[in-house]
Structure 1
Amino acid sequence: MNRRTFLTTTAVGLVALASGVAQARSISGAVPWEAFAGEPPTPVTPGGWHFFQPREVVLMEAIVDRLIPADDLSPSGRDCGCVVYVDRQLAGSFGEAARLYMKGPFLPGLPTQGYQNSLTPAGRYRAGLAAFDKAVSDTFGGRFETLSPGKQDQALSELETGKLKLSGKVDGKGFFALVLENTMEGFFADPVHGGNRDMASWKMIGFPGARYDYRDWVDQHDKPYPRGPVSILGNIVQAKAG
């Protein structure tokens, strides 16, 4: 038997075996699993702040409200719980960089090499928010949350491009990218993590969420999903009429 014949007969055998298993597990009128039978998700602890200090909370809420302003499509980033999401992430393994390689030497790298510094995400937020707060006050003559929406957008744009220089060797462009990425995560992640309150973003884009089965609608393009999203926790939110 040559290699091609061996691979062909093996593949046929596996298909036949899989078909037999599938037939043996055929069921009617019930699902073949129990919800949360494995490792159940742990919702974020409600109330209070685990990482952010009072001044940081005010600043972060003002920032996310400019990144995701309230409109006729969704509530603002603050009302959707984006700051709560980031707070809980920074208070956990993400903030400690538990899954990142954080050994030296720390040398300037290429943009394609990603973050090259000794500060953890928690350290970057603590230093970045303080430096941004000071830079805005020095440049615009007031704290960020007191500025007009236009001035707030200007401050964030200058932070994004690097025009607004931050003290303490804080990389403004990198810090903006981190805050924007985490804000987007909080807006679109499952509500179990503290953001996307009332599944507002999922309702906005018509995402069904963690539903067990919506195959009947997969091929129906350009049609809104009518049943509303469901989170990992199982609570269903009805889609807004119209």
Structure 2
Amino acid sequence: MSDEEKKAPDLSRRKFIKNSGYVAGGAIGGGILTSLIGTNVWGGNQKTAPETTTNEADSYNRALMYFRRRKDFEILSAATERIFPEDENGPGAIALGVPYFIDHQLAGGYGNNEKEYTLGPFSEGTDYQGYQSPLKRHEIFTAGIQAMERESQENYGTSFAELEGEQQDEILRKFEEKKVKMKHVSSAYFFDQLRTATLSGVYADPLYGGNANMDGWRMKEFPGNQMSYIQEIEKEEFIEYEPSSLKDHL
């Protein structure tokens, strides 16, 4: 590590984001989001999953629907925070409620591959041949979380959620680089699903459990779900909007 990087670890992470597919700056294929990528930089201390949200009106969205073991949810939370960490630009995945967003998605149609062809044969396909696993998405996430915990215990003797940030990053890189053995699916595919789901939770409408207080949109200066732009569409000056959620129009 150079002297400059030692003096500015956050900047060294920003440099790493630019050069790697890992974390929020990487390419995302086939997900809800393809270009709304955050510019966050790695934070210092690892956080655990919050029990409640700061916005009492959204507390109904902070209840687990899929995960039965709190430990698995904490591992998921820790991983999402490393992918989209809190920094000077705004909150990270945990504060935005991303783990709850993923939990709710896994409990629904997305996690159960509804309206998708999921029968065999299950040959190992190319990167361009779509879903090629006998496992449903919720099973892939469960298997991936268990594999992360196994890697953590074998290499560091403690839970993934208790590791230092750099140690968590090391394990996540192994998944991204397909260096962790998993049955019926590659670790790289799981990592891609995890990263896509994390960014989806950052930028999805708060109605679905993530993007708490629309702060994900605010970091992008995205107006959210406005009912109409008819009054402003012909104006020449740039117009800033306070973000609006679907639930604001219910």
Aligned match of 1:232: 246
The offset of 1:152, in angstroms, is 1.4
1:183 maps to 2:198: yes
The one-letter amino acid paired with 2:168 is Q
Secondary structure of the residue aligned to 2:246 is coil
* Superposed counterparts of 1:76-155, under 5 Å: 76-155=92-171
Question: Which stretches in structure 1 are left out of the alignment for 5+ residues?
Answer: 1-42, 236-242
| TM-score, length of structure 1 as denominator length | 0.72
> Which has the bigger relative contact order, CA under 8 A and spacing at least 6?
2
In structure 2, what is the Cα distance between the partners aligned to 1:226 and 1:196? 19
The one-letter amino acid paired with 1:83 is P
Secondary structure of the residue aligned to 1:233 is helix
88-97 or 146-155, which deviates more: 146-155
Aligned match of 2:23: none
Q: 1:218 to 1:161 in 2, by over 3 A?
A: farther
Question: Which stretches in structure 2 are left out of the alignment for 5+ residues?
Answer: 1-57
Q: Deviations over 1:191-210 (max 9, x none)?
A: 01000000011111111111
1:209 maps to 2:210: no
Matched positions, count: 190
From the CA coordinates, give the structure whose radius of gyration is larger: 1
Aligned match of 1:166: 181
Q: 1:206 to 1:156 in 2, by over 3 A?
A: same
The one-letter amino acid paired with 1:229 is P
Q: 1:131 to 1:226 in 2, by over 3 A?
A: same
Asked if the contact 1:188/1:196 (under 8 Å) is kept, the reply is yes
Asked if the contact 1:159/1:176 (under 8 Å) is kept, the reply is yes
| TM-score, length of structure 2 as denominator length | 0.70
Q: 1:150 to 1:218 in 2, by over 3 A?
A: farther
The offset of 1:234, in angstroms, is 1.4
81-90 or 45-54, which deviates more: 45-54
Root mean square deviation of aligned Cα: 2.2
